Amino acid sequence: MGNTFGTLFRISTWGESHGGSVGVVIDGCPPGLELCEVDIQVELDRRRPGQSDITTPRNEPDQVEFLSGVHEGRTLGTPIAMNVRNKDARSSAYSEMKLAYRPSHADFTYDAKYGRRMAEGGGRSSARETIGRVAAGAIARKILKEAGGVEIVAYVESIQDIRMPELGDAITREDVEATPVRCPDSETAAAMIKRIKEVRSQGDSVGGTIGCAVTGLPAGLGEPVFDRLEADLAKAMLSLPATKGFEIGSGFSGTALRGSEHNDVFENRDGAIRTRTNHAGGVLGGISSGEAIRFRTAFKPTATILREQETVTSAGEPTKLMGKGRHDACVLPRAVPIVEAMTALVLVDHWMRHSAQNATFPFSLTPVD
């Protein structure tokens, strides 16, 4: 249970951090979409470990392979299964963690729920599970791009107390990828990189926020009441490892404004109804307004740190534990493509739901060429 996400564009991820493979099965991808491994690999390469000197040095190529659903370079409309093999697992670094619980980690809660857990690499609670999400998100992103020119750009907005200036909706993927920390402001990025290296040298970790902007999305997507667009985006973001907060548009800062200040005034702009401001973050009443969707997600500091901490064993006995192995001192740079992937999965699912609900009758059942 709980390993499946989506309604019409539906994904199920599987695998553990130190198991043989991780991957995903997608059900509901339309037939005829031109697709090859390269489309997926470019996104996995942005997520994979060992890509810079501020990420974990675990050496994983994260090479994707199609197992089903794609033939002669196009999707079949049947389930798409993708597999990524684990190549560089070092389970010996987790021997002490089989008995002792890492502070602020899911070790204890997995034991509480299942009565057993895979301590090596964190098992299913590891961020390595997100490989399946990124692979599926690459396909969702391609559909959105070809269907309506939708662009999704996430970026590291802050790390600890270091925050980038407001740059508006003009941030491009090229700006984000210009630095290893994935902050589009070069001066702020340099300060972030310095902070991550300092904290890592002390065996500690830091968190921060990732911002995301979606442009090109039409008005009308979202399913009131319980499947509001922002509600599904919040669920998608808070399903990611290490996330602790989500806000859209003005978010919590909007609570300090009056309605006369916060309201987004409608206007006719070249024949299209738009809003003069975008405090709502592109969503009104749970439905997209046609303005840019803007939200941010908060990530806590990495739980596994290379410092001795007090904890208890599974028997409740006091002990001390120091993390071993290869871990990110800050997860945010590698989380950027994961945020984009989950955003794409939510949006393509709602696009398909909207199209199905608003089909013109009589409609044809003839397959798309």
Put simply, whether the predicted model's pTM sits higher than 0.85 gets the answer yes
Two tokens, residue 107: 């070790």
Distance CA 329, CA 311 (A): 20
pLDDT of 191 above 70: yes
64, 44 contact by CB (below 8 A): yes
Domains of the chain (ranges; CATH) run 4-357 (3.60.150.10)
pLDDT of 247 above 70: yes
Residue with tokens 């009056």: 258
pLDDT of 199 above 60: yes
The least confident of 104-113, 196-205, 319-328 is 319-328
**Residue 262 host element (H or E):** helix 259-262
The per-residue pLDDT for 132 is 97
Two tokens, residue 337: 């493509």
Strand locations in the chain, DSSP E?
4-5, 10-15, 21-27, 64-68, 70-71, 74-75, 80-85, 151-159, 162-163, 208-215, 243-248, 266-269, 272-275, 283-284, 287-288, 293-299, 308-312, 318-322
What mean pLDDT value characterizes the chain? 91
**Residue 209 host element (H or E):** strand 208-215
Distance CA 91, CA 198 (A): 27
The per-residue pLDDT for 49 is 80
Distance CA 272, CA 19 (A): 52
The per-residue pLDDT for 118 is 78
Two tokens, residue 173: 């993927």
Give the burial class of 168: count Cβ atoms within 10 A of its Cβ; 0-12 exposed, 13-18 middle, 19 or more buried.
exposed
What's the first-to-final CA gap in the chain, in angstroms? 36
Q: Give the pLDDT confidence of 266-322 residue by residue, as tens digits.
A: 999 999 999 999 999 999 999 999 999 999 999 999 988 888 999 999 899 999 988
Distance CA 244, CA 208 (A): 10
Distance CA 132, CA 75 (A): 18
Percent of the chain past pLDDT 70, that is, above it, reads: 93
Q: Please give the residue that has the higher pLDDT: either 44 or 106.
A: 44
Angle between helices 37-47 and 332-357 in degrees, nearest 10? 140
Residue 243: DSSP 8-state? E
The per-residue pLDDT for 116 is 82
The per-residue pLDDT for 24 is 98
pLDDT of 330 above 90: yes
Q: How confident is the model at residue 365 (pLDDT cuts 50, 70, 90)?
A: low
DSSP β-bridge partners for residue 4: 12
Mean pLDDT value of segment 239-243: 96
Mean pLDDT value of segment 149-175: 93
Distance CA 17, CA 314 (A): 21
Distance CA 331, CA 49 (A): 10
Residue 159: DSSP 8-state? E
Q: How confident is the model at residue 61 (pLDDT cuts 50, 70, 90)?
A: confident
94, 66 contact by CB (below 8 A): no
The least confident of 59-68, 123-132, 359-368 is 359-368
Distance CA 125, CA 243 (A): 13
Q: Give the pLDDT confidence of 21-55 residue by residue, as tens digits.
A: 999 999 999 999 999 999 999 999 999 887 888 88
The per-residue pLDDT for 176 is 97
Q: Please give the residue that has the higher pLDDT: either 303 or 151.
A: 151
In whole angstroms, how far apart are CA 248 and each of 60, 120, 153, 298?
34, 36, 15, 12
Mean pLDDT value of segment 202-217: 96
- Quick one: which of 328, 304, 294, 335 has its CA closest to 133? 335
Our CA dihedral for 52, 184, 210, 63, rounded to 10 degrees, sits at -40
The per-residue pLDDT for 357 is 87
301, 207 contact by CB (below 8 A): yes
pLDDT of 233 above 70: yes
Distance CA 321, CA 307 (A): 8
Residue with tokens 């969503």: 283
Task: Name the most confidently modeled range: 52-56, 59-63, 112-116, 286-290.
Answer: 286-290
pLDDT of 59 above 80: no
